[in-house]
Amino acid sequence: TQLLEQSPQFLSIQEGENLTVYCNSSSVFSSLQWYRQEPGEGPVLLVTVVTGGEVKKLKRLTFQFGDARKDSSLHITAAQPGDTGLYLCAGASNAGGTSYGKLTFGQGTILTVHP
Amino acid sequence: EAQVTQNPRYLITVTGKKLTVTCSQNMNHEYMSWYRQDPGLGLRQIYYSMNVEVTDKGDVPEGYKVSRKEKRNFPLILESPSPNQTSLYFCASSPGIFYEQYFGPGTRLTVT
């Protein structure tokens, strides 16, 4: 079974601070996605990374895929109250065997940004 | 409007009473899947389907059944629900596993 360890589980910061969320595994993933979920709703995709070492930016959010495609990070610069939510990473593999077709999610990071 | 719909949104039932949660998508997606979400555990995949008539177990399939008789529908069946299946359930669809997953609004199930 592939596992994705996400940290920290909770993050409470003040508006304007920077933060990083980590997503780590001992398994190699073909692609890794980051989702954001608000209360009462389903997760919504933020970004997909597929190449080792890839860096993608979405306004104040920077996503990085590790060189070995086993880990990823989400960095938010100058956090705002609107960034508050649950952030989830999800990995998929085309390695074949019993893992093919499965999508594995991390435990999630609950981010609260105080005004 | 492109969407994934789930019904019911809320359900309270008793142990052992069979239930079905429906999931339907109008985007002609090949891949559909079911997840349960519990505090501190993120989303855990229950079952997935790569295409019509093709289904496979996710990480937590025990106590659940699914079927994929047509592309748009992917119902989740609990033959004999138990209290440990109390959870928030999400259905999702996508063109494939490496593409964006579109999630339904969720079904909150309570089994007493």
Task: Give A1-44 pLDDT, tens digit per residue.
Answer: 678 999 999 999 999 999 999 999 998 999 999 999 999 899 99
Exposed (0-12), middle (13-18) or buried (19+): which is B81, by Cβ within 10 Å?
A: buried
Alpha-carbon dihedral angle through residues B92, B95, B97, B101, given to the nearest 10 degrees: -40
Task: Give A68-114 pLDDT, tens digit per residue.
Answer: 999 999 999 999 999 999 999 999 877 666 567 789 999 999 999 99
The answer to whether the CB atoms of B43 and A90 lie below 8 A apart is: yes
* Structure tokens, A69: 């495609």
The answer to whether the CB atoms of A94 and B92 lie below 8 A apart is: no
Give CA–CA dist A87/B13, Å, rounded: 31
**Which chain A residues touch B41 with a CB distance below 8 Å?**
107
Residues in chain A whose beta carbon is closer than 8 A to a beta carbon of chain B?
1, 6, 9, 30-31, 33, 35, 40-45, 48, 50, 88, 90, 92, 94, 101-108
Rg for chain B, CA atoms, rounded:
13
Give CA–CA dist A46/A28, Å, rounded: 21
Query: Any residues with CB less than 8 A from the CB of A11 and at least 6 apart, and which?
Result: A19, A21, A109, A110, A111, A112
Residue B69 neighbours by CB distance under 10 Å: 9
